Structure 1
Amino acid sequence: MSYHFQQNFQKPSFTHIFLYCVCPLFFFCKLTYADEFDSLQYSASANHAWDSNLFRSSNNETSDQITTYKAGVRFDKKYSLQHFVIDVNYVDYKYQKSDFLNFDAINYSAAWQWALSPALTGTISTRKNKSLLGFADFRTLIQNIRTDEYNIFRAEYSPYKVWSLIVGFTDTSLKNSQTFNAQNDYDATAFDYGVRYNFVSGTSFTMLGHKRNGNFKRSLNASNIALSFDNGFNEDEFEVDVLFKASAKSNLSSKLAYLSREYDNFSVRDYDAWLGNLKYDLLLTGKLKTSMDLSRAVGTFETQYSTYSITDAVNIGATYFYSDKVILGLNARLSQRDFDGRVNPAFPNRVDHEQSINGALTWQPLRNIGLTLSSIKSSRNANSGYDAFDFDDVTTSVTVDLKI
């Protein structure tokens, strides 16, 4: 099966920006707005994006324009010690040329922050999100909708508000609408446990453990050892989190974790790795805020040349509050993604180098109306064995956001 796409890429003109962004403002200004503390709030937004390389190709680039409409409702209410928050959003994605990618979805999240007493508190929450799986890793030019679901129960016992005992359960589910073995459908259940210590200064120290059991939604093919796609795994993760309140103008947070995964049938795919992050936010002046984030992330990526990937990244950003209505933002990211856990040694190692720079301008003429213009330039270069993964991309988007 093949598709033919038109290749010309048109830059957004002033007419485009006016039609998609400015005109709706005059209509929205006539509406009556709810107070930000009202229990029930409504929101709506429209985003128009220009993507110069939709399928992340190193040649024969295909540009497209994507319009996203979003409408949502939020319920946020406290009853004595109980706090309920519900978010429901309808999202509609429209592609101008690649219309086979069009889809709509209802995404939601709900949380009950419960308390049996001031000392015994916790959270029961659920979340479901549908999104189009991009083409940076999924290389087949068909629509693949990914559905992520999370159900969490968490309880904390803190009789003196100094130390806390933590226990909980987490159910996770991932489903693709198309077969994608590198990140296959699975269900997992985790038992979460740990302790936290809160200092008077506001600094907190947390130690957590997660014991997970997962099952892939695929049958075991023991006859094909070259692929070794398993149908289940057990995983242990231990982490230490520190939130350090250096001053009223700065925050420092960090996470250090060790993860170990064992597969049910093919031990060749077993792996363990260190991961974590270090983030520092600093308010340099009353109008300029800077941030730096160093991170190492581990993710499953099952192919013949890998079982998992490790991504080391650095993010540097700055936000300038020009006025109470205008905000400027700039962010740069550099990362290296190493793929490890080869099943077939005949395949060479794959390493990706990625970089991106993003700028954004937000204008909020009224309290409940916002207009954002953003542009991102990104590129990824893989080693020579995987040159089909190289791409250079520019995306520009305009968003109008309304809260009622």
Structure 2
Amino acid sequence: MAVLAAYSPARADQFDTLNFRVRHAVLYDSNFFRSSGINASNPVRSETRDMTTLGMELDKQYSLQRVELDASVVANRFRTSDYLNYNALNYRAVWHWSLTPRLHGTLRREQDEALNSYDYFGGRARNLRTDQTTAASMEAVVGRDWRLLGGLERETRTNEQPIAEQGDYTLRNVSIGVRYLFPSGSSISYRLLDGQGTYQNRIPGVTALPRSFEQLQHELRFAWAVTGKTTVGARIAHLSREHPGLALRDFSGVVGDINAQWAATGKLHFQALASRGLSANQNNTSSYISNSRLGLSANWSVRSRTVVYAGFDRTINDFDGTPPGVVPENREDKIHGMRLGLRWTPIDALSFGAAVQRSRRTSTISGADYTNNSATVDATFRF
């Protein structure tokens, strides 16, 4: 599904160590529950949500050390389906540590709370998802052009209600790698990520749900400064996930993405993105999803304080890994999204935004198609 592009307004003072923000947004969704048709017993499909955000941003340098914090409390209030109301605590805290200029890294903690989308989970029940990441990374400068990389990461997902397809899990990764820097500013890097994971809160009634998994990834990254106006970033990796004792849920393959950005003029910028991913989707008819996406976007600074942006993306989801003895559904979903928005910043501390979006899904299985139109207006004050 396409996501509305968001352009953050300038800080009240970009050189301040501490800044606060207050934002209120109204979001209209014509088909909030992503249904393919109106149910006679409950014809309500549209929803309007009010989102009020109180946030703070801290960015402080202490000699070789730097501390960043971006935290917010978001109150979500639904005008029709008020049982969905919730408050979210979202944050990202990073310590950029440095023992010497040649040995440095980060310690990072993130949390994101949101309502699970109804695209694939169906129903109308409230189901909040909490994603947390705790990570440590290290980079050592070797000679002039080489860097040695290392890292530890713990990633968790918990759902208010258990989900079979993409349920609760904990993943611990250890990574090692190397990066080479070119004189032009371009770079190439390799990382090996070795992960061990466990699933929690598995639900009954689904065939062969694993309790644990092992994940291995070989990853190459490229950052290419083509010209002063054009940059290209790319990632290509081989991902393998195995489930001890339940090989029928295993999957592996090539994943990655390429992102090109072009500053055509000082006011007009374009971006193109292509990606392919693999993710677990464990139910009675599939084990994983192969995801391919193509996206194009542009933003135009009409005036010094007014930006217009637009985008289009196309996503294909293939549901693969049918368990033995089950007739394959051969399900394939295609999602097309278009968006158009405007951001006006009359003064540095205050900005207003408006955006519209249309998304449409077609599927090879009956009852999975939907069309949705949405609109957002917001105001943000920073001080």
TM-score by length of 1: 0.88
Q: Which residue of 2 aligns with 1:393?
A: 372
- Structure 1 unpaired stretches of 5+: 1-32
SS of corresponding position for 1:247: coil
Deviation by residue 1:334-382 (Cα, 9 ceiling, x = unmatched): 1111011111532411100110000011110001211110000001111
Deviation at 1:216, TM superposition (A): 0.3
**Helix, strand or coil at the partner of 1:116:** strand
**Alignment map for 1:269-284 (pairs within 5 Å):** 269-284=249-264
Residue 360 (1) aligns with residue 341 (2)? yes
DSSP-derived class of the 1:147 partner: strand
Determine if the alignment matches structure 1 residue 59 to structure 2 residue 37: yes
Aligned to 2:148: 165
1:153 and 2:132 are equivalent in the alignment: no
- 2:353 touches 2:377 (CA, 8 Å); kept in 1? yes
Inter-partner Cα distance in structure 2 for 1:388 and 1:263: 31
Structure 1 Cα separation of the partners of residues 166 and 72 of structure 2: 26
Match of 2:53 among 67, 70, 76: 70
| Separation of aligned partners in 2, 1:380 and 1:180 | 22
Instruction: Give the aligned partner of residue 327 of structure 1.
Output: 307
| Paired residues, number | 367
Matches within 5 A, 1:87-236: 87-218=70-201, 227-236=207-216
Distance across 1 between alignment mates of 2:142 and 2:100: 10
Q: Corresponding residue for 1:264?
A: 244
| Contact preservation (8 Å) 1:119, 1:161 | no
Equivalents in 2 of 1:158, 1:396: separation in Å?
A: 48
TM-superposed CA distance for 1:220, in Å, is 9.4
Q: Give RMSD over aligned pairs.
A: 1.4
Q: Give the drift of 1:173.
A: 0.4
8 A Cα contact 1:119 1:160, kept in partner = no
1:372 is aligned to 2:353: yes
Residue identity opposite 1:376 in structure 2:
Q
Query: Hey, what's the Cα distance between the residues in 2 that align with 1:185 and 1:211?
Result: 20
TM-superposition CA deviations, 1:117-167 (whole Å, max 9, x none): 010000000011110001001112100000000000000101434110001
Change (3 A) 1:220 1:332: closer
Percent identical pairs in the alignment equals 26
Cα distance change, pair 164–53 in 1 and its aligned pair in 2 (3 A): same
**Residues 336-345 or 237-246, more deviating:** 336-345
Task: Report the Cα distance in structure 2 between the residues aligned to 1:372 and 1:160, rounded to whole angstroms.
Answer: 48
Q: Is the 8 A contact 1:304 1:347 kept in 2?
A: no
| 1:14 aligned partner | none
Tell me if structure 1 keeps the 8 A contact 2:57–2:68.
yes
**Normalising by the residue count of structure 2, what TM-score does the alignment of the two structures yield?**
0.93
CA distance, structure 2, for counterparts of residue 365 and residue 278 of structure 1: 35
Aligned amino acid, residue 53 of structure 1 = N
SS of 1:183's partner is: coil
Distance 1:150 1:34 in 2: 29
Match of residue 43 from structure 1: 21
Match of residue 346 from structure 1: 327
The one-character-per-residue Cα deviations of 1:236-289 (angstroms, maximum 9, x if unpaired) are 011100000011111111110100111022111111011111111111122211
Aligned to 1:310: 290
Relative distance call for 1:391 and 1:34 in structure 2 (3 A) is closer
Equivalent position amino acid for 1:337 in 2: N
Match of 2:223 in 1: 243
Deviation at 1:38, TM superposition (A): 1.0
Structure 1 pair 322–34 and aligned structure 2 pair: CA distance change class (3 A) = closer
Q: Is the 8 A contact 2:164 2:202 kept in 1?
A: no
Distance 1:266 1:42, change over 3 A: same
Matched-pair contact (CA < 8 Å) for 2:173–2:196? yes
The alpha-carbon distance between structure 1 residues 72 and 232, as it changes in their structure 2 partners (threshold 3 A), is same
**More helix per residue: 1 or 2?**
1
Task: Give the partner amino acid of 1:395.
Answer: S
Per-residue Cα deviation, 1:175-202 (whole angstroms, up to 9, x for no partner): 0000111001011100011000011101
Task: Quote the offset at 1:34 in angstroms.
Answer: 5.0
SS where residue 77 of structure 2 aligns?
strand
Tell me how far apart the structure 2 counterparts of residues 199 and 368 of structure 1 sit (CA, whole Å).
39
How far has the Cα of 1:73 moved from its partner?
Answer: 1.1
In structure 2, stretches of 5+ residues that fail to align are 1-10, 39-43
* 2:375 aligned partner, one-letter code: T
Q: How many angstroms apart in 1 are the aligned matches of 2:328 and 2:361? A: 20
Q: Could you tell me whether the CA contact under 8 Å between 2:162 and 2:203 is conserved in 1? A: no
